[in-house]
Each structure stands twice: as structure tokens, then as C-alpha cells.
Amino acid sequence: MNRIFAAAAASAVCDPLQAALALRNQGRPREALDALTIPGEFSAESRILRGDLLMQLGQIEQAAETYGAVTAENPNHVYAQGQVGACLYRLQMWESAAHAFEAVLRLDPHRDDLRLQLADCLLCLRRFEAALACFDECWSEESRRRALFGKAVALQLLRRFEEAEKLYERLLAIDPAAEEALSNLIAMSMEVFELGRVQNYSQRLLEINPQSTAALKGLTLAAIERLDYAAGARYFHKVLELDPEIMHPPAAPSDAVEYRISRKIFDSLEETRRKQKFKTARASQSA
């Protein structure tokens, strides 16, 4: 029996792939990767394992190159092609990632996990109609919630606000605590200046997450437009505590819908805040 174990150990040492597999199974990915760096011809299996280890270690660019070596020899290697896409997706190389996901879906059209990532890439590439169609093609139960959210986002970006709102509300019926859906509903309502909806969605989001800056910004806007500076000051200074950058303009152009407080309004809120603090201090002294 000992001879068998010794022979197996010797075989693992002589075979870098087996040695690397053994080390990975022991939770030693760095040593497993080192075992695969022995010069020589690499099999597809060795390259795949090397790519997996590089991803595990956070070396995404190197992982993409390693998986790419497999797909260069065999474009129909579904796993390697999918992993190339996953790496490029993490590197935010949206166009290249989309091509990799499309290649996989041609070979295996039932991969909704990759279809969702493809649709995300299309959103980032501002190909909103294509993204909407891609989300709509998702069929599995596991993908339903994310696909529903993605379709709503695509419709919002296409400015089809009524359709987007209906889908966000469907999502909230499934998951009443879906903060992203409420945040996007607030942004949409701000864009069309529906203050009643801004107030409603902001209040709903604040009940779920009292630290939500999106909710507090929405309530600030609604209060200011009602000329209720006392409430606006309370909400706005809470936002300032959570996000001091709110008073600074964005460094680069953005398509995000944002409500920014003007200097005049900010001064009014500050004056209201000072008066509130003065009244509180006077009340404490009188007590």
C-alpha cells in the first residue's frame, strides 16, 4: 500500500497538472499556480486550470490571456470562451466581453447567466434596444428577477418611463425591499418632476434604509419645492453627513439624473439650520 501511495506522489510530482490540482484542493492556489509554471507545452486542461487559479488570485488580465490561448486553438471551447467573457466583464472591456458572451450563446443558447452579463455589457455600450431584447430572451426562473430589473433599466434609459415604472413596481411586488428599484423610480420621477412620486418613493426607500442618500435627496427636493425649508434642511444635512461630495460637481460628464442644490438654496437651508439650532439651544436653557 505504501508503494502505491509513493508511486502516486511521484506521479504528481512528475505531472505538473496533477500536482497543481492537489495543491488547489488543499487550498493552496499560489503554490498550485507555481506548479504550472514549469517550462514546456501546456495542454488545454493545464491552461484552464491556470486561468482558474489566476482568477482566484485576482490576476484577471493574466487569466484572460490564459483562457484566450485556449480559445485561439479551439474557438468552440465553451468554458474557456465563457471565462474570457467573465474576465473582460470584470475589466469593464464591454465590447470584447460582449463578443465572448455571444460566442458562448451561439454554442449554448440556454446560458441565461451569460445572457444577463451580455445584456449588462450592451447597457454599458448604450445599445439599449439590444439590451432590452437580450433581457427579454432570459427564460429561466433563476434569471427572472435580474432580467426584470434589467428590462426596467433599459426602458428607463430609452425614456419609456411608464413601461419602466410598471416593471419596477412588479419587481417591488416580488421584493418590497428592492432598494435599486426605488432609487431608480426616484431618479425617473425627478426627471419628469413628479414631486408626489418623488415624495412617495423616497419615503418608501427611507423606511427600508434610513441611510439612503437617494431617499434623502428626494425628500430634500420635495421639501424645497413645497418651500418647507425646515424639513428640507433636516434631510439635506443628513445627506451631507453621509455624502459630503454632494456640494461638489461631478469630475466628468454623466448621464445620471441628479438633483443638485444651488448655492442660493444651500444658503437658505443653512440659515434655517442655524435658526433651528438656536431655538433648540434656547429651549434647553429655559428648561
- Which residue in 110, 185, 113, 125 sits closest to 153, CA to CA? 185
Euclidean distance between CA atoms 265 and 234, whole angstroms: 13
Identify the pLDDT of residue 260: 47
Grid coordinates given for 198: 418623488
Lowest-confidence pick of 99-103, 143-147, 186-190, 221-225: 221-225
| Residue 228 neighbours by CB under 8 Å, 6+ apart | none
The architecture in CATH of the region 11-109 reads Alpha Horseshoe (1.25)
Identify the pLDDT of residue 158: 96
Whether residue 193 has pLDDT greater than 50: yes
Confidence of residue 254 (pLDDT cuts 50, 70, 90): very low
Residues of the chain with CATH 1.25.40.10: 11-109, 190-246+257-287
Q: What is the pLDDT of residues 76-120, one digit of tens each?
A: 999 999 999 999 999 999 999 999 999 999 999 999 999 999 999
- Which residue in 39, 40, 37 sits closest to 19, CA to CA? 37
Lowest-confidence pick of 109-113, 220-224, 257-261: 257-261
Query: How much is the pTM?
Result: 0.77
Look at residue 161 and give its three-state secondary structure: helix
Euclidean distance between CA atoms 287 and 283, whole angstroms: 6
Q: What is the pLDDT of residues 22-63, one digit of tens each?
A: 888 888 888 888 887 765 557 888 899 999 999 999 999 999
Homologous superfamily of the 190-246+257-287 domain (CATH): Tetratricopeptide repeat domain (1.25.40.10)
Q: Which residue has the higher pLDDT, 23 or 157?
A: 157
